[in-house]
Amino acid sequence: MKTVVTLLVLLSLGFCSRYIETKAPFYYTELSGPNEIQTDSTIDITYYKLILKIQLSPNYIYGVTTVNGKMPVPGNSFFLNFSSSMTVDSVTGNNVASFSHNYDLLQINLASVSSTFSVNVYYKGLPGSTGYGSFVFGSHNSQPAVWSLSEPYGSSDWFPNKNTPGDKADSSDVWITCPSGLTAVSNGLLNETVSNPDNTVTYKWHGSYPISSYLISLAVSNYTLYKNYFRYSQNDSLALTHYIYPEYFDQVKSNLDETPKMLSVFSEKYTLYPFIREKYGHAQFGWGGGMEHQTISSMGAFSSGVISHELSHQWFGDKVTCRDFRHIWLNEGFATFSEAVYIEATQGKDAYDYFMKSRMNYSKFAVGSVYVQNPNSVSEIFDTYRSYYKGSFILHMLRGITGDSLFFSILKTYVNDTARAYNTAATEDFQAAAERIYGKSLAYFFYEWVYGENYPKYSVVWDKARREDNTYDVIITLTQAANTTPSFFTMPVDFKILTKNSDTTVTFFNNAASQTFTLNLPGEPVSLTFDPSNKILKDKAGDDPVEPVTFDLGQNYPNPFNVSLKVYDVTGRKVASLVNTKQRPGNYEVVFSPYGLASGVYYYILVSGGITMTKKLVYIR
């Protein structure tokens, strides 16, 4: 650490060194969940059709799932993921020879080698409920409520599939039969409702867009249906369908009426709502948060933040889906950041800054990399501090580097690139989109913030020196505490410098653990603020402007006089002699570099013309 002392005779002596390091406790609750699902990499799913009958009292389901797919390398066997707690009665298809069902895998053998397959799996049982509740028979107000929430690995608890976000079916159908008086909701468009002779109703939903298995959903209850509309052009509108428990409708209606505004904001920022041929809406369910099921978010809460979060997932999570759950920040970080985008659009920049500052504070609780090291753990995938808060602040920092125009162009490019749209992405795909628009490498940024750990802890030391032309040099030394991965953080850093007449903000590129920057200004600087807009996740030398601590020595002698400036430790031992000579009246600069000294309390003693002044400094290495 370099500490700068300025000596001005007729005289002011300035010193500034502030360093604050904060450590917050980390709160972590382990959730139960299955190991990461092993899937069959030899197949490519093209279509799912679920035909489900919901039975109440006792709770039970009967199902037929059709799975179509390709085998890029022709073969005669493959497997699907399906819970062994369910009973498979049969598997049919033109080329099916036999099947076995063990250890949550449904092995299917074909009669001959083929490059395609189409199988129908007949099954029944009471689905398990892993993770956050993959399939639940519940109730509200003494009424039945059946719902699914399959993320991350729960879809195979209730239907056979290739259980990975990385393989999307090209289209899907979900046909749900339930008792009369209940409504069954799923993805896509409701093509038909059939009243059956046995006092049941079948709802036939069709999804025409690619979809990952964990985004296929159902929700069944005695819903009140409420509609409003997103008018996305002068002549076109999208129906928004909200399925709400009747006793909750009055209290949530006003928030539901915000949804068209949210769609307008996100369509402007990210491009048009990605499932415009179908629908958007909400289905209330029995979990406390929300889940971004494609075209129909399942909702247990209806605050503006939750609604905007789940809606934005339709772009970031549903249209472009993380390739595997190691990259879940591409879903959850983007959706959390989108809450701030909506706040900024409706409440202004100050509200956005307040929201992101709170996310910065929460992000400091994150332990480990944003990239999920252990996707076997449901709680690690959905670690709030890492995947949500720190993930969102990564986007905020990227916005600070690129500027607003390029940043939102990056987001549009990312969700609309033909290789990613209605497909999947990893962090490197987003990095490639960012670099293409920004025009520069961002390898340092993604390495340290997505794959690295922690955040920088900065100390700032600065001083000023007046030149003969009455301008001022500002000398800033920025030092980072040692980290693990990376050893230090590379970032553009802002300094706001206030002079007696104006203020200016300057950006330097910090690419060393300790680095000194010099800036010339026409006016005398009186304070300096590091990262004034909170563009960086960090601890810094205080949130208030860092001002020099000065003391003055007035002297009436017009003749040359002797000046001495010495530094002592607390025992009275002299550790440095900075000045000991005759000086004429004028301005003088002395640089004190306390290399080799231990952290602790030291004293300056300035003697001039029979006057002695003493000041204390605290040195922190």
- 10 within a domain of the structure (yes/no): no
How far from chain centre, in Å, is Cα 56? 40
Looking at residue 619, its pLDDT comes to: 64
Query: Once rounded to an integer, what is the mean pLDDT over residues 322-342?
Result: 98
Does position 90 have pLDDT exceeding 70, yes or no? yes
Percentage of the chain with pLDDT > 70?
85
> For residue 236, what is the domain's CATH number?
1.10.390.10
Q: Do residues 205 and 303 share a domain?
A: no
- Report which of residues 27 and 292 the model is more confident about: 292
pLDDT digits (tens, 9 = 90+) for 469-506: 999 999 999 999 999 999 999 999 999 999 988 999 99
Identify the pLDDT of residue 177. 98
How many domains are there within the chain?
3
**166 and 256, same structural domain?**
no
User: Could you report the per-residue pLDDT of 356-376, keeping only the tens digit for each?
Assistant: 999 999 999 999 999 999 998
One domain for residues 208 and 345: no
Average pLDDT, integer, range 457-468: 95
So what's the pLDDT on residue 550?
42
Residue 33 — very low, low, confident or very high, per pLDDT cuts 50/70/90?
A: very low
pLDDT tens digits, one per residue of 191-218: 999 999 999 999 999 999 999 999 999 9
Distance (Å, whole) CA 8 – CA 590: 9
Instruction: With a cut of 70, say whether residue 163 has pLDDT above it.
Output: yes
Q: Classify residue 22: in a domain, yes or no.
A: no
Q: What average pLDDT does range 35-51 have in this prediction?
A: 92
Same domain, 272 and 177: no
Instruction: Using the predicted structure, report yes or no on whether residue 570 has a pLDDT greater than 70.
Output: no
Domain boundary among 453, 471, 504: 453
218 shares its domain with 264: no
Q: Residue 1's pLDDT is what?
A: 31
Cα distances (angstroms) measured from residue 21 to each of 1, 364, 457, 527:
15, 12, 7, 21
The residue out of 170, 203, 222 marking a domain boundary is: 222
Domain assignment present for residue 540? The answer is no
* Residues 337 and 282 occupy one common structural domain: yes
pLDDT in tens, 593-612: 676 677 677 677 777 655 55
Which domain CATH number covers 580?
2.60.40
| Of the candidates 10, 5, 19, the residue with the CA atom closest to the CA atom of residue 464 | 5
> Which range, of 18-32, 59-73, 103-117, 133-147, averages the lowest pLDDT?
18-32
What's the chain's average pLDDT? Answer: 89
Q: Does residue 571 sit within a domain?
A: yes
Shared-domain flag, residues 441 and 345: yes
pLDDT at residue number 459: 97
- 121: domain CATH number is 2.60.40.1730
Tokens of 356: 């992101």
pLDDT digits (tens, 9 = 90+) for 1-10: 322 333 333 3
End-to-end CA separation in angstroms for the chain: 6
Question: Residue 261's pLDDT band (boundaries 50, 70, 90)?
Answer: very high
Last residue within a domain, chosen from 453, 483, 515: 453
Q: Give CA–CA dist 412/400, Å, rounded.
A: 17
Inside any domain, residue 27: no
* 555 band by pLDDT with thresholds 50, 70 and 90: very low
pTM greater than 0.95 (yes/no): no
Can you tell me the mean pLDDT for 447-460? 98
What is residue 597's predicted lDDT score, i.e. its pLDDT?
78
Question: Where would I find the beta strands (DSSP E) of 443-490?
Answer: 458-466, 472-480
Do 212 and 289 share a structural domain? no
186 and 68 within one domain: yes
Does residue 610 come out as left (phi exceeding 0), alpha (psi in the -120 to 50 range) or beta? left
Domain check: are 254 and 340 in the same one? Answer: yes
| 87 domain residue, yes or no | yes
Query: Does residue 216 belong to any structural domain of this protein?
Result: yes
- Shared domain for 160 and 264, answered yes or no, is no
- Average pLDDT (224-238) is 97
| Residue 152 preceded by cis peptide, ω within 30 | yes
HSE-CB for 405 with a 13 A CA cutoff: 0
Q: Which of 267-271, 308-312, 471-475, 552-556 has the lowest mean pLDDT?
A: 552-556
Separation of alpha carbons 287 and 31, rounded Å: 15
CB atoms within 10 A of CB 502: 10
- Beta-ladder partners of 243: 225, 283
User: What value does the mean pLDDT take over residues 171-193?
Assistant: 98
Distance CA 261, CA 241 (A): 15
Question: Domain check: are 305 and 328 in the same one?
Answer: yes
335 belongs to a structural domain: yes
Structural domain for 80, as ranges: 39-222
Q: Which tokens belong to 28? A: 């972590």
